[in-house]
């Protein structure tokens, strides 16, 4: 059984993960608008990752006898100045999510909720990867000098290789 406090905090995190999905889908849509299909693909894969994160928490709350109560998802940013600006934003966003996961873990410790602590360990490790993968693209774009031109084209092609966690049927 989850404490009321823990249940509320996990519900809040479902919203944060759904917002992350929404933000990355907005970034994907920006990339489609500037014909960077590979970057858009990377962001669509990231969107799916976030939906998976939200669903993991959803399932956990239900499994623990809690109630999922969905709230409004705020509107994401829609425009950026460059591919680099988008990935810098993604990296900053992942650092924010890491701090939210750390806060959740602190609460689970405070509440002496061992099951939630174990559950959250997956998210703690996942955030190391999430930050590394966004910051990895930032570094690539910087190295390629990729505000525009050939370097950006190469990075875009590479990001197009990222597989979608949930393969979509062909159109
Ligand atoms: Fe759900 Fe990208 O952290």
User: Can you give the CATH number for the domain in which 23 is found?
Assistant: 1.20.1260.10
Task: Kindly give the number of the ligand 1 atom that is closest to the alpha carbon of 94.
Answer: 2
Distance 149 CA to ligand 1 centre (A): 30
Quote the pLDDT of residue 28: 98
Quote the pLDDT of residue 148: 60
CB of 97 shorter than 6 A to ligand 1? yes
In a domain, 48, yes or no: yes
In a domain, 137, yes or no: yes
Question: Look-up: residue for tokens 């966690």?
Answer: 165
Q: CA gyration radius for the chain?
A: 17
Quote the pLDDT of residue 133: 97
Q: How far is CA 62 from CA 66, 72, 94, in A?
A: 5, 20, 26
Quote the pLDDT of residue 168: 85
CB of 50 shorter than 6 A to ligand 1? yes
Quote the pLDDT of residue 142: 94
Quote the pLDDT of residue 106: 98
Quote the pLDDT of residue 147: 56
CB of 130 shorter than 6 A to ligand 1? yes
In a domain, 166, yes or no: no
Residue pLDDT tens, the chain, 171 long: 899 999 999 999 999 999 999 999 999 999 999 999 999 999 999 999 999 999 999 999 999 999 999 999 999 999 999 999 999 999 999 999 999 999 999 999 999 999 999 999 999 999 999 999 999 999 999 998 855 668 999 999 999 999 999 988 887
Quote the pLDDT of residue 162: 96
Look up the domain containing 44 and give its range. 4-73+80-159
Would you call 42 exposed, middle or buried from its count of C-beta atoms within 10 A (0-12, 13-18, 19+)? buried
Taken in order 104, 127, 83, 31, the sign of the CA dihedral is negative
Rounded CA-CA distance 56/102 in Å is: 17
In a domain, 168, yes or no: no
Quote the pLDDT of residue 4: 98
In a domain, 169, yes or no: no
In a domain, 164, yes or no: no
Mapped onto helix, strand or coil, the DSSP state of residue 39 is helix
Distance 23 CA to ligand 1 centre (A): 11
> What's the total number of domains in the chain?
1
Quote the pLDDT of residue 40: 98
The residue nearest atom 1 of ligand 1, judged by CA position, is: 50
Quote the pLDDT of residue 146: 53
CB of 113 shorter than 6 A to ligand 1? no
CB of 53 shorter than 6 A to ligand 1? yes
């Amino acid at each position: 059984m989850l404490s009321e406090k823990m249940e509320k905090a996990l519900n809040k995190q479902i919203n944060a993960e759904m917002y992350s999905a929404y933000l990355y889908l907005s970034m994907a849509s920006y990339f489609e608008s500037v014909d960077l299909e590979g970057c858009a693909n990377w962001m669509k894969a990231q969107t799916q990752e976030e939906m998976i994160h939200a669903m993991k928490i959803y399932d956990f709350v239900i499994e623990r006898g809690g109630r999922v109560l969905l709230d409004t998802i705020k509107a994401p940013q829609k425009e950026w100045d460059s591919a680099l600006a988008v990935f810098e934003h993604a990296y900053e966003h992942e650092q924010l999510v890491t701090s939210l996961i750390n806060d959740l873990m602190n609460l689970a410790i405070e509440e002496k909720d061992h099951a939630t602590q174990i559950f959250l360990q997956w998210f703690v490790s996942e955030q190391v990867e999430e930050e590394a993968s966004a910051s990895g693209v930032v570094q690539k774009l910087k190295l390629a000098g990729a505000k525009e031109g050939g370097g950006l084209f190469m990075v875009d092609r590479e990001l197009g290789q990222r597989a979608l966690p949930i393969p979509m049927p062909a159109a």
